[in-house]
Structure 1
């Protein structure tokens, strides 16, 4: 009997809201909006790494606080998928469910990477 091992490679769409980005560009103008988006992307990348570090340190309160900030930033620039999963991470922290938290955090990291790439690609298209 030969058993097969299946390796899962989870992948999902970034869940970007181009209307939110378009509104930001209309409201602030191209130069200021691009500055806001670039700073937000940098902050999101830093927060994702920091949240992961806090998870490994079992610093649940700080992890929750940083994840809430990440959700707010993601929402501001139209990363609705990332904001949603960030909310799920917060729920796992609140529920003290470390198994679900580990899985949801892995999803947040995958989606964060995909969202940052997707928004970078959108910027290359000059919204």
Structure 2
């Protein structure tokens, strides 16, 4: 009998720490922290909306939500998340079923890791 090898999909996520610093400088630490926290909550909700739209095969809602994720992630320096969300939007617009499924799975993996990375970086000095 042959061994079954399970491949683990891992890729590095990129978060722009300069963007977080820029937000802190321009808004103040408390306001920046609130903005980042709210953005992260929006990203989580957006991921749920995208999954629901995918299940319902509503590509208009899916692409609209993916575009919103791109803007939100860009705003707080989540560059990998933003890029992959843009890939999901493109696949949704093109109605590319297999590509969309694969890219959406990739976005889910990236979202988990990106949100954790920003959460870890969000520990602002007092």
Deviation of 1:103 (Å): 0.5
Gaps of 5+ in 2: none
Q: Larger relative CO (CA 8 A, sep 6+): 1 or 2? A: 1
Residue of structure 2 equivalent to 1:112: 111
TM-score, normalization by structure 2: 0.95
Q: Hey, which bits of structure 1, 4+ residues long, moved more than 4 A?
A: none
C-alpha contact 2:15 2:78 (8 A) present in aligned 1: yes
SS in 1 for 2:122: helix
Aligned length in residues: 126
Give the gaps of 5 or more residues in structure 1. none
Q: In the TM superposition, what whole-angstrom CA distance separates every residue of 1:75-104 from its partner, at most 9, and x where no partner exists?
A: 000000000001111111122111010010
How far residue 124 of structure 1 moved from its aligned partner, in angstroms, is: 2.4
TM-score (norm 1): 0.94
SS at match of 2:32: helix
RMSD (Å), alpha carbons: 1.3
**Rounded Cα–Cα distance in structure 2 between residues aligned with 1:60 and 1:6:** 34
1:120 & 1:67 partners in 2: Cα distance?
21
Within the alignment, does 1:27 sit opposite 2:30 as a pair? no
